[in-house]
């Protein structure tokens, strides 16, 4: 089993509310700014795209790479974070 960051644990342990996109695991200040520049200013907006892509790992990773130039680890961490959040709250 892979290890997850404290940021990941904090995110999946509570409702999303109005959290900024930088609260997502794998998304730091640089990716956060790129997300905001593309209209994805809140974590719930990224969640919406995640759901539109039907929680598909490959599609979501490709979307992150194309949209904000994320690397594979960033995309994987963000995917895992949103996937576990959905398992917990949806």
Number of domains comprising the chain: 1
CA 78/CA 8 separation, integer angstroms? 9
Q: Residue 2: its pLDDT value, please? A: 53
84: its two tokens:
């576990």
Q: Residue 1: its pLDDT value, please? A: 39
Three-class SS of residue 8?
helix
Domain with residue 67: its CATH number is 1.10.150.40
Could you tell me if residue 83 is inside a domain? yes
What is the reported pTM?
A: 0.93
2: its two tokens:
């892979």
- Taking every pair of Cα atoms in the chain, the longest distance, rounded to a whole number of angstroms, is 34
Could you tell me if residue 56 is inside a domain? yes
Compute CA 33 distance to the chain's CA centroid, rounded to the nearest angstrom: 14
Higher-pLDDT residue of 3 and 70 is 70
């Amino acid at each position: 089993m892979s290890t997850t960051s404290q940021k990941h644990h904090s995110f999946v342990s509570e409702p999303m509310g109005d959290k900024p996109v930088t609260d997502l695991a794998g998304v730091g200040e640089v990716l956060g700014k790129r997300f905001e520049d593309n209209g994805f200013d809140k974590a719930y907006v990224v969640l919406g795209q995640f759901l539109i892509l039907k929680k598909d790992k490959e599609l979501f990773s490709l979307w992150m790479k194309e949209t904000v130039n994320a690397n594979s680890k960033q995309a994987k961490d963000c995917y895992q974070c949103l996937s576990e959040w959905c398992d917990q709250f949806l």
